Structure 1
Amino acid sequence: MVSLFENYEQQYSVLTADITSQVGLLTASATKDRRQLISKIEKHVEEAQELLEQMELEVREVEPTKRQRCRTKLDCYRAELKRLTLDYIKARSVRQGVLYDSAEELNDVRISSDQKQRLLENSESLERSNKKLEQGYKVIIETQEIGNQVLKNLGEQRETIQRSRNRLREHDEDLGRSGKLMNAMIMRSLQQKVILIAVLVCFFLMLCIGLYLGFKRN
């Protein structure tokens, strides 16, 4: 199954092939044809830049084992597009050293420097955007790692609290058993005291009866 990154690669290859062939035609083309070629090349360059941005986003979703290889490919594609952009700029400027066939062609050459500067600025802007995206991605990864560590710590604390609760529950059960045992001992002690008192009372009554009978006989 073809991944989205590989699909972008195929589209990028088609675009760069078109740009390469059109830049070659631009060098030797007539004025009328040059306008059409310039329009097509600039459109394809913009599409290629957008594809690189999409590929940059897709690299982050690739499996970690394949991510570095895809990132290396992406760097090569950026360098290739930059080279093609410079080739295009040179192709647009190649006729500046010869006689011009018309005023329109002369105007094309005059504005080429502005377009050249704009293309260079776009290329630099793309590189800056890629760097910002990479920095943002690093921040996200670091934040995710911190979040995972916090979750791990919370999990450990939760387990510690759970173990403490279990120990408290066990202590409560031990205290309950101890309380029951203590109550049983108290009840047994009270029973023994009652029995002892009853025995003493009986002994005292018997003693009193014996003394009474002895005095009565006398």
Structure 2
Amino acid sequence: MSEVFEGYERQYCELSANLSRKCTAAGALDGEQKKQKLSEIKAGLDDAESLIRKMDLEARSLQPNAKAVLLAKLREYKSDLNNLKSEVKRIASGNLNPSARDQLLESGMADTLTASADQRSRLMMSTERLNQSSDRIKDSRRTMLETEELGVSILQDLHSQRQSLLHAHGTLHGVDDNVGKSKKVLTAMSRRMNRNKWIIGIVVAVLVLAIILVLYFKLSK
């Protein structure tokens, strides 16, 4: 719902109710007082038409679903304005024929005023229901925004956890590399130790053989 349209709508409803009261008062006046009151009413009708045009422009600038609802309301306001104009014409026509004026005041105008009052009452009730619907939409939108913010917060937490896991994975990968290097060093050391054992064993065997030969030659002499 457009807040701009709602502002124009409130102004129109207040103006329409005020004009209706002025029409009722003008019907009971005569002479200059009546002319002055009619002049005030006509100025108010011009203001009402201006508000209708503003509401029409605002409604047509909205999305199709919102525009359809507001244009339906606008048609009721236009009908209400036409009724007010008809009342003003009937009141003004009383200046030409007093008996006709009395007849209009007693019958036609009374019916018109009653119909307009009923219509304005329906319009106000419709406006109230739409305002309640607008409030519910605003509450739903606020809930949606809060849910969206919660979702963003959860995504941020998940992203932070993912970064932590990636860092831990990188650390473990580094540890694996270090373990692999240590394993290679230990394997090389083991190979050198085995080679040194063979060398020592060969040296010992040669020394033993040399001692045996020396003893043999000494004993043989």
**TM-score, normalized by length of structure 2?**
0.56
1:14 and 1:126 map into 2 onto residues whose CA distance is 12
**By how many angstroms is 1:144 displaced?**
0.5
**1:1-218 superposed matches below 5 A:** 24=22, 27-28=25-26, 37=42, 40=45, 43-44=48-49, 47=52, 50=55, 100-101=100-101, 106-208=107-209, 211=212, 215=216, 218=220
**By how many angstroms is 1:147 displaced?**
1.2
1:113 and 1:22 map into 2 onto residues whose CA distance is 10
Which structure's CA Rg is the greater one? 2
Cα 1:46–1:121 change in 2 (3 A) is farther
| 1:110-161 CA distance string (max 9 Å, x none) | 2332222111101111111111111110111111011101210221121012
Letter in 2 for 1:121: R
1:21 and 1:115 map into 2 onto residues whose CA distance is 11
**By how many angstroms is 1:193 displaced?**
1.1
1:115 and 1:19 map into 2 onto residues whose CA distance is 9
**By how many angstroms is 1:188 displaced?**
1.0
Report the RMSD for the aligned CA atoms in angstroms.
Answer: 4.9
2:24 and 2:49 map into 1 onto residues whose CA distance is 14
| 1:1-57 CA distance string (max 9 Å, x none) | xxxx89x979x87997898589647632689969x8499279449639949x98xx9
1:175 and 1:16 map into 2 onto residues whose CA distance is 80
Cα 1:116–1:16 change in 2 (3 A) is closer
Partner of 1:63: none
1:121 and 1:17 map into 2 onto residues whose CA distance is 16
Letter in 1 for 2:26: A
Letter in 1 for 2:45: K
2:194 and 2:44 map into 1 onto residues whose CA distance is 115
Letter in 2 for 1:116: A
Gap regions ≥5 residues in structure 2: 63-80, 92-97
1:133 and 1:109 map into 2 onto residues whose CA distance is 35
Partner of 1:60: none
Gap regions ≥5 residues in structure 1: 58-84
Report % sequence identity: 8
**TM-score, normalized by length of structure 1?**
0.57
**By how many angstroms is 1:182 displaced?**
2.1
**By how many angstroms is 1:215 displaced?**
5.0
Cα 1:16–1:128 change in 2 (3 A) is closer
Partner of 1:77: none
